[in-house]
Structure 1
Amino acid sequence: MDVDNETSEKLASITSISNQRERITAYLSLLSAILSPSPTTSSDLITFGRHFTTSTSMATVVGRRVLGAYVTALCAGTTLPRTGTAALSLDEEGSSDVEKWDAIGKEAFNGTKGEEVRRDVVEGVLGQGGISGWCDEQITVLRHLHSHLLQLEEDWLGAAKALMQIPLEGTSRLISDEEKLAVYMKIVRLLLECGEWGQAQTYFSRASLLIHTTTDKETNLSFKLSQARLFDFSARFNEAAQRYHEVSFESAIDEEDRMQMLKAAVTTSILAPAGPQRSRILATLNRDDRVHTALHPSLSTMLRKMLLEYIVRPEEVKEFEEGLEEHQKAKVEGGGTVLERAVREHNVGACGKVYDNVSFEALGAILELDAEAAETTARRMIEQGRLRAWIDQPLHLLYFESRTTHDTDADAQGTAGGLGVVKEEKEIEPVSWTERWDDRIRATSIKVETIAETIQQRGLIPTVPVS
């Protein structure tokens, strides 16, 4: 007769005991016998655990007491934090035996194969289905233990999936919003660790509905950091930079980790689409002394170039790209990586600081694109309100509409020969090209009329008598 069948027979014989106290004692004696000496295989412990978790006729008092001791022994000797939904509530007698079963469990899983047997037992109990509803609390602790063991092996996705199996809604057990939030945030962190940001976003959305229920600093900090990373993964780099920079000031984080957050803030601000929002973030980061003293010089140099709208050279782009994470090197629509698009758009704006107008062929040479692609890039920026410029398509020219310096001569100010017709600066709105063309024709006609009236008033053109 094999040991597994022997254990099953012993469990069956104990079930026939009518007195509950005697039955509890018999179950606990059998559990102690299986754990001492250290088990070399998991089969007996799996059989014992499944006897309770799959039973639909188990007396609740007996089941909770014995399964509580079983779970306590399995968790013994691990670094699993026994808080929140990972904490096991025991009756008065069970609580008095916690130290005893903790000691037995430590001894049982202390051998060379101890951790392997522990994991096999947990997976064997949880992995075969058919679990009864009366033991939700004990099963929840086992799922936390399973996730913890997988994390030690750096199986982040497996650890997250173990926590996903925990029933937080519609169970007989009352779970507080704060405990639900803690589980959701653990899942989010694990999914982000393995790059599954799509699933992470789902659980983060659930957590965001509960974040107001907690005052725990660690949970709030974890929420902010997860939000920053999700923005980063989803290429919302402006928002990511703001969140990373906020987190970099948190004194609860180690200095080294704060510098990592600051580095991430600078990196994502550089990857953000060119425009007013990014300029504000760049200016904020540039005022942070830590950027220039604690980070690599190449990062602060790139930051200043982006802020001051200097043209960025290919060799500088290559050096910066070496420090990017894999998802930040993703290809984007229109060709190139996220960084290449960000630098191209930045260089288009930087050209406006140097030139009044530029041909698309020359702009393409600066951006390392053909003329058509350069025009597409500029047109997209204008449509999105991120570039003050207009396009002369017949001449294939891009005209920039704003300057950083205000010259005093008439030509630079956009006046017509000192006649007082001043060029008006208007915000560029994302309207259709036809409407914009009509507006320009209308504005030009008004200027021509104004110039003609001024000439007549000043008598600059002598009147020729008609003969």
Structure 2
Amino acid sequence: MASTLDSFTARLQHIATQPNNARLAAYESLISDLLQQPSSKLSSNDLLQATSAYLRHAVFSEQNSTGGGLVIGRQALTALEHHSGRLAEEYELQKRDKDRMQDIEDESMPSVADRDTRRQLLENALEQLQPRTLSFEEQASSLRMQLASLLEAEEDWKEAAQVLLAIPLDSGHRNVSDHFKLSIYVRIARLLLEGDDPVAADVYLKRASMIIHNVPGALPSHYQQQQQQQQQQQQQQQQQQQQQQQQQQQQQQQQQQQQQQQQQQQQQQQQQQQQQQQASGSSTAAADGDGTDGIAATGSGSASASSNGSRHKLEEPKVLGLQYRLSQARVYDSQRRFAEAAIRYHELSYVAEIDEDDRAMMLSAAVTASILSPAGPQRARTLATLMRDERTPSLPQYTILSKVFLDRVIRPDQIASFEKLLSPHQIARLAPSCGPSAATSSATSTTGSTSTRHAPSTVLDRAMIEHNVLSASRLYDNITLAGLGALVDLSPGGAEDIARKMIMQGRLKGWIDQVGNAANAGARGRGVLFFVHQDRRGEGETTAGGLEATKAGADSSGGDGSGTGGAGGEGGAGSAGGAADIDTKWTRRWDQQIAQVTGALEDVCQRINKVAGSTAAVA
């Protein structure tokens, strides 16, 4: 095949001798004929060698890469990118058609239709283009987008993302629209998510969030943003008009000065020879003006060629907006921000433009994320919304969803069946706990039934333990830490840590009474967790010891409830709740604490007296 390469190179050299207006058509015809050659006549290696020669002579030669010939070089490179992509797409369409597949033979397939060959061709072109990227930015972007599509089809996600990352979007040599930037950022984020790199995907989603408001139709609330942009544009137009007026005034002043100078020159032009010299000078200036117009025309042709260089169609703004929102939900899910992910998934499950099967998957993901989200008022609202959705009964997670919504205790066998439906990152192991409660609880192995676990081990385990603690608050007025640990399969110290964290974050209403010495590991299990009984979705806050609840009960009873004492509380026990009942409960709890402290104080006093008596007897 050496003769074929020699003849191809000779044709390139012959085209180089032709004028500019004929070279472009000759280059495009030559590369089109070359790429259409079947693999039986032109092997992959010969094709790669021929395209390398084409790049050297038609694109990167001194004649076509500098000055006015730069337009020819750009168009020649665009022809290579366009025809290689077109032929590959046509063959892929034929390959998908099973009826026509019988008439297609591998020998008639163009060499450029082979994925490995086309990948190497694009990589060679980008490698040769690297030193001249500033002159061929538009063409380099098109080549990179085509190479990224090829790598994406081969499921090489990270490599495809790296190819797109090299596209210059903030270059000062060309204007890049926000629509194009948004499409690149969203595509990079999707590829990184497929490559299990949510951290890097989050970076490019944040960049997309800064410009998505500038793309009309990308988000549902773009109308208000458009109005804000219009106002900003109007302000900018007013400023431009003011600047133009100032420039016009300056131009008028300059014109007046020029007129005065011309009058002085006319007075000095007394001789006819000087007038002839001025006429010859004006003809020379006219000739210079014609040359300038020719350069401007060349520059405009270059600009038009650059603007038409990218043949890749951008996604519609609405499609880009949906891809952005879905990628955002996936990033929240991978970052274990399940409450936010559930909201995003549920919103997307209502979009009519998405396929029905995909919407069902998003609804399923919303249910899973809501169950794994931290137990509290926010999750309760999300669960209520999902339970009202008429589509959720058909999901496999509906059984556990209903139990979680009704605040029922979730048993280990139910957790195991739900675990089979989760993704790997949703059952990932957590870092081992090293809190003070876990450290002191390591010695509390007084009974064989006490759990030795001090903290949840996985994301699912943590979500279910917090839910069961919240469920216990609906069943009991109070529970010992040992009993709570037995319920959630944790040590008393570990159960205390979970309850304390939920109380501090406002997700559980209650307080903890640590009986005995807090440093004594054996006394930790005798601590009691008291729950504040409020409405399921209550908004009230509580303070240490339940003083706020007592105050609320007294206020609701008109200020007289605090003086009723125990008799009033007993009398109101049979009624359907009331301020006196709440007051009585807290009064009893405080009386018990006071009695315990008083008994302990008397015990201490007796011991001191005994020690003092024995000391006096010895003396």
Is 2:350 aligned against 1:249? yes
* 1:398-437 matches, cutoff 5 A: 398-403=529-534, 416-419=565-568, 422=580
Q: For residue 33 of structure 1, report the CA deviation from its aligned partner.
A: 5.3
Q: What secondary structure, in the 3-state scheme, does the structure 1 residue paired with 2:479 have?
A: strand
- Structure 1 residues 11 and 356 mapped into 2: Cα distance closer, same or farther (>3 Å)? farther
1:62 aligns with 2:76: no
Task: Deviation per CA, 1:142-176: give whole Å up to 9, x if none.
Answer: 11110111111111112222211111111422221
Letter in 1 for 2:496: E
Range that drifts further, 120-129 or 54-63: 54-63
CA contact (8 A) 2:338 2:372 kept: yes
> Which of 414, 419, 426 is matched with 1:321 structurally?
419
CA contact (8 A) 1:231 1:240 kept: yes
Tell me what 1:40 maps to: 43
- Aligned-residue offset at 1:77: 3.4
Match of 1:383? 504
Which range moves more in the overlay, 46-55 or 33-42?
46-55
Residue 318 of structure 2 corresponds to: 217
> CA RMSD for the aligned pairs?
3.3
1:215-248 Cα offsets, whole Å, 9 max, x none, are 1321221121111111111111111001100000
- Equivalent residue, structure 1, for 2:114: 114
User: Using a 3 Å threshold, how does the CA distance of structure 1 residues 218 and 256 change in structure 2: closer, same or farther?
Assistant: same
Aligned AA for 1:321? E
* Overall identity of the aligned pairs, in %: 38
Tell me whether 415-424 or 337-346 shows the greater mean CA deviation: 415-424
SS at match of 1:174: coil
Q: Alpha-carbon deviation of 1:51?
A: 5.4
Q: Is the Cα–Cα contact under 8 Å of residues 186 and 208 in structure 2 kept in the other structure?
A: yes
CA distance in 2, matches of 1:50, 1:244: 51
Counterparts of 1:270-289 in structure 2, within 5 Å, are: 270-289=371-390
Tell me the TM-score normalized by structure 1.
0.77
Distance in 2, matches of 1:320 and 1:47, equals 61
Q: 1:419: how far off?
A: 3.4
Superposition pairs of residues 14-413 of structure 1, within 5 angstroms = 17=17, 19-28=19-28, 30-32=30-32, 34-38=34-38, 39-41=42-44, 42-49=48-55, 57-58=65-66, 59-79=69-89, 110=110, 114-127=114-127, 129-212=130-213, 213-215=215-217, 216-292=317-393, 294-296=394-396, 299-333=397-431, 334=433, 335-394=456-515, 395-403=526-534
Deviation at 1:78, TM superposition (A): 4.2
Query: Structure 1 pair 25/217, CA: closer, same or farther in 2 (3 Å)?
Result: closer
Which structure 1 segments of 5+ residues have no match? 81-106, 426-439, 449-467
Q: Write the letter of the residue equivalent to 1:278.
A: R
What's 1:89 paired with?
A: none
SS at match of 2:391: helix
Alignment CA distance shift 1:355-1:52 (3 Å) = farther
Displacement of 1:43 in angstroms is 2.6
Q: Give the number of aligned pairs.
A: 397
CA-to-partner distance for each residue in 1:333-373, whole Å, 9 max, x for gaps? 44411111000001011111111111111111111111111
Moved more, 56-65 or 154-163: 56-65
CA contact under 8 A between 1:185 and 1:222: conserved in structure 2?
Answer: yes
Q: How far did 1:6 drift?
A: 4.2
8 A Cα contact 2:325 2:344, kept in partner: yes
Amino acid aligned to 2:409? I
Inter-CA distance 31–287: structure 2 relative to 1 (3 Å threshold): same
**What's 1:458 paired with?**
none
Residue 30 of structure 1 deviates from its aligned partner by: 4.3
Greater mean alpha carbon deviation, residues 383-392 or residues 68-77: 68-77
2:87 aligned counterpart, secondary structure: coil
> Per the alignment, in what secondary structure is the counterpart of residue 324 of structure 1?
coil
Distance apart, 1:34 and its partner CA: 3.3
Output the TM-score relative to the length of structure 2: 0.59
Residues in 2 aligned to 1:25 and 1:60: alpha-carbon distance in whole angstroms: 15
Indicate how the Cα distance of structure 1 residues 51 and 133 shifts in structure 2: closer, same or farther if over 3 A, else same: farther
Contact 1:357 1:400 in 2 (8 A): yes
Q: Which runs of 5+ in 2 are unaligned?
A: 91-106, 218-316, 434-455, 516-525, 537-552, 554-560, 570-578, 595-619
Q: What residue identity is the alignment partner of 1:40?
A: S
Q: Which structure has the larger Rg over C-alpha atoms?
A: 2
For the residues of structure 2 that align with 1:27 and 1:266, how far apart are their CA atoms?
58
* Alpha-carbon distance between aligned partners in 2 of 1:51 and 1:371, rounded to the nearest angstrom: 79
CA distance in 2, matches of 1:380, 1:332: 16
Contact 2:84 2:112 in 1 (8 A): no
C-alpha deviation, 1:206, in angstroms: 0.8
SS in 2 for 1:182: helix
SS at 2:374 equivalent: coil
Distance 2:24 2:512 in 1: 85
Q: Give runs of ≥4 in structure 1 deviating > 6 Å.
A: none
Q: Whose helix fraction is larger, Structure 1's or Structure 2's?
A: 2
Judged with a 3 Å threshold, the aligned counterparts in structure 2 of structure 1 residues 20 and 424 are, in CA distance, closer, same or farther, namely farther
Conserved 8 A contact 2:9-2:53: no
Q: Does the 8 A contact of 1:14 with 1:27 survive in 2? A: no
CA distance in 1, matches of 2:363, 2:11: 59
Aligned equivalents of 1:385, 1:24: Cα separation in 2: 72
